[in-house]
Amino acid sequence: MKIILASGSPRRKELLEQAGIEYEVIPADIDETTSKTLPNEVVEELSYNKAMAVAQANPGRIILAADTVVAFDNTILGKPNDEEDAFNMLMALSNREHHVYTGVTIVNANGFVNTFSECTTVCMYDNSEKLIKDYIATKEPMDKAGAYGIQGKGAILVSGIRGDYNNVVGLPLARVCRELAKMVD
């Protein structure tokens, strides 16, 4: 089975390779605005829109699309605008819990669509200003939602998680594999 990954995310590509899933990358080129406000609804809608955009141009193929957000106090935290924004995000998350939501849409070769989301709770240490500034100096947080990458240097900020670790990286891999298996049988 070879799927189309409707994402250019290097983390999603690594996760699919880890699972031994063959894929071709065709990133979705869509407007990522949404009228939804709840994090799970936002990621589900965006993953659906990405999948459908790629599916229309590739009928009869299996499409996998995903969208991940970090949510804190009912607010979605995107990628930081600058280092000050990254600092403010990481200080707000320090010594607190937040949630990472990933919406996934799979379109099978027959056009059947399955959309779902996963939520993982992430607990942060009480991180000092110096530690956060040192982390920001690595530039790693600048292209990450919530201003950290759990799979990289940002791991030092995290005290624990409840849920799927890979969901925080960008794809709930175990569930994706199960849903793909159901859709191709």
Hey, which residues does 98 pair with through a beta bridge?
122
Nearby residues of 180 by Cβ (< 8 Å), 6 or more positions away: 1, 3, 21, 62, 64, 106
CA distance linking residue 20 with residue 69, whole number of Å: 25
3-state secondary structure of 134: helix
Catalytic residue among 29, 31, 67, 82: 67
Active site residue 67: yes
Check if the beta carbon of residue 158 is closer than 8 Å to that of residue 125: yes
3-state secondary structure of 179: helix
- Residue 29: left if φ>0, alpha if ψ -120 to 50, beta else—which one? beta
Give the catalytic positions in this structure. Answer: 67
